[in-house]
Amino acid sequence: MRSRDAGGLVYSTEAGRTCPNCRQALAACRCAAAARQAILGDGRVRVSREKAGRGGKTVTVVRGLPLAADDLATLGKRLRSACGTGGTVRDGTLELQGDHAERVTAWLQAEGFEAKRSGG
């Protein structure tokens, strides 16, 4: 039995650098692609307004969207355009500058999501 079959890492210059997770060559690694396609939301779309820890600025936060990272970025762009504001996608949540919670909730419901207001 070869040590490679046993699951142990064997030093080799044949494939070059390897991924620490799947131990495949970096050119053949599918870990990053799988992480990008992972769905982060839990399906319960919650829209809230936050102000704490942001230097006094109000931010509308959308959590729980059941979308992959690429689709979340596309939806975020459309939502920022509809609200006429800036924002970002961070850790599976959408953050919009300003207090747009009511408008965002209505827009998401029109798009077919079961969005609810949360928080104050």
* Residue 48 DSSP symbol: E
pLDDT mean across residues, the chain = 83
Judgement on whether residues 42 and 76 belong to the same structural domain of the protein = yes
Residue 89, token pair as written in the block: 């996608």
Cα–Cα distance for residue pair 35/100, rounded to 1 Å:
30
Cα–Cα distance for residue pair 120/21, rounded to 1 Å:
42
Cα–Cα distance for residue pair 55/49, rounded to 1 Å:
14
Judgement on whether residues 45 and 30 belong to the same structural domain of the protein = no
Using 50, 70 and 90 to split pLDDT, how confident is the model at 18?
confident
Judgement on whether residues 17 and 43 belong to the same structural domain of the protein = no
pLDDT at 85: 94
Q: What is the residue range of 20's domain?
A: 1-37
pLDDT at residue 37 greater than cutoff 70: no
**Residue 108, domain CATH:** 3.30.780.10
